[in-house]
Amino acid sequence: MIQMEECLAKPIIDRVNPNMRHFRCINGLIVISNLSRVDDVHEYKVYFERRASKAGKEYGILKRYEVVHDLSLPTPISEERAISWKKVNEHYVRTITIHRKTEAKCRRCNYKEIDEDTDTYDEEVNIIAIDSIPYLVDYSQLSSIERLDTPAPEAEVKYINVYNYLIPEDFIDTAIMSKVEELKKEIVEVDKRLQYINSYDVYLTGLGKFAKKVTNETKQYDPQHDQQVVIQETYYVLEDGTKMTKEIVKHRNYKCRQYLVPGHKEDWELRRECEFTETEVLETHDYGEIPVFKTDVYNNYMKQKDSLRQEIKGLLQQMVRSRVEVTTQKDDGERVKIKINGDEGEFLYNWMHGVEYYKGKYAPLARLFL
C-alpha cells in the first residue's frame, strides 16, 4: 500500500509545456500535477504519492491540493449582547452573552473567512429604581438600565430624589417632608438673592448700593505730532440705573519714528524717536468700592444657604435613622456603612480622586450619612 504524503508547495511551469503547472515542495521535491489553472500568487498544500525514477530520483504524483490563503489578522465586524436576569438569594444574577464576528481577508485575493465566538459570564448585581427609573448598582457608579438593556427586572429598593439625596419610598414621613419642602423654597429665594448680587461688579460702601462698572474710550490721532490720545471714562451704573463717574483718565501715546537729518561724517544720518506713554487723571471720585464676593452681605447669604442645606440633611437623617445602623470610617476617603434588616450597604467617597463607590442596594441611602 502506497502511503500518501503532504507538503507546502508553490506552482512551477512545466519545462516542455508552458501552459502546464506542477508543484515544488519547500524541501525541493517536484510533484507532477499537469494542471492548467493554478494561479501563481498563492501557496498550496499538496497531497501526493512519492515515487522514484529508474535513475533513483524521487518525485511525487499529485492526488489533491488545497489553496493556502495568506490571511490578515482578524478584524471585528459585529458584536451582539444578550442579557438575562434571575433572582438568587434575594439578589439578582445577570447573565451576559456576547456573540462576536471577526473577518480575515486574504492578502493575495478576495477570499474572506468569517469566525464566530461566544462568551458568557454571570455577575451578581443589585437593581434599584430612582424616581421610577431602573438603575444598576455598580461599584463605581449608578448606571441607568434603560440605557444598558431592557426590560429591567423588579427593583429591590425604590428611591425618590430628595434635594440630591436618595431616600427609599417606604422610609418617607410626610410631616418631615413638608418641612423639607419649606426649606427648599427658602433656598430658592436665597439663590435668587445670590444671583442678583453676582450680577453686579462692586459694592459701593459709601452709598450702600451695588453697581456695575463700565469703561468707555475715545481715541484721537494727531498726525502732525504722530501721537494718539485716548480718553477713558470709568463710571458706575447703580441698581436704580443712576450713572456716577468714578474717574476720567487721559493717555498720550507717542509712536516710534525714523527720519534722515544732515550729518557731520556723512551727508545724511538716520534718527529714531521711540514711543512713550503719558497718563493724566483728569477727574476722580472715591465711593469706597469693595468686590461683591468679599462683602458681608454675600457671605451672610452663603452661610444662610449652607445652614438651610444642613437642616434639610438633618431632617432626612432623622426620618431614616430609626431604621438603620450606621458606621463611618476614614481611610483613603470617607466610608459609610449601613445595615437594614441584616442587609448591608456601603458608600465610599475618595477625596483624592473625587470618585464615588457604591456597594449593595442600600448604598445610595448610606451616602446621606457622609
Kindly give the interhelix angle for 174-198 and 296-321, rounded to the nearest 10 degrees.
Answer: 160
Same domain, yes or no, for 62 and 88?
no
Considering the domain architecture, whether residues 90 and 27 belong to the same structural domain is answered as: no
* 296 in a structural domain: no
Contact 249, 281 (CB under 8 A): yes
Q: How far apart are the first and last CA of the chain?
A: 85
Residue 217 lies in a domain: yes
**122: which 3 cell numbers?**
454571570
Specify whether 61 is located in the same domain as 85. Answer: no
Residue 195 lies in a domain: no
Provide CB contacts within 8 A for 321, sequence distance 6+.
none
Comparing CA positions, the residue from 316, 81, 299, 135 lying closest to residue 203 is 299
Backbone angles phi, psi at 111, to 5 degrees: -70, 140
Query: Of all helices (H) and strands (E), which one includes residue 261?
Result: strand 257-262
| Residue 365 and residue 344 in one domain | yes
Same domain, 36 and 99: no
Range of the domain at 270: 206-287
- For 251, phi then psi, to 5°, come to -115, 135
Characterize the bridge pairing of strands 4-13 and 43-52. antiparallel
Q: Are residues 61 and 81 in the same domain?
A: no
| Alpha helices, DSSP H, located in 199-231 | none
Alpha carbon 112 to chain centroid, angstroms? 37
Domain count, the chain: 4
The reply to whether 141 and 85 lie within a common domain is: yes
Q: Look at residue 280 and tell me if it is in a domain.
A: yes
Residue 113 forms part of a structural domain: yes
- Taking the model in full, what pTM does it have? 0.63
- pLDDT in tens for each of the 370 residues of the chain? 568 899 999 999 988 888 899 999 999 999 999 888 788 889 999 999 999 988 889 999 999 999 999 999 999 999 998 888 888 877 788 888 999 999 999 999 999 999 999 999 888 888 899 998 888 887 767 887 765 555 678 888 999 999 989 999 999 999 999 999 999 999 999 999 999 999 999 999 889 899 999 999 998 887 777 778 899 999 999 999 999 999 999 988 877 666 777 776 667 777 766 667 889 999 999 998 888 888 888 899 999 999 999 999 999 999 998 888 888 776 666 788 888 888 888 888 877 777 788 888 899 999 899 8
Do 123 and 90 have their domain in common? yes
Residue 57 is part of a domain; what is its CATH number? 2.40.50.500
**Is residue 226 domain-shared with residue 274, that is, in the same domain?**
yes
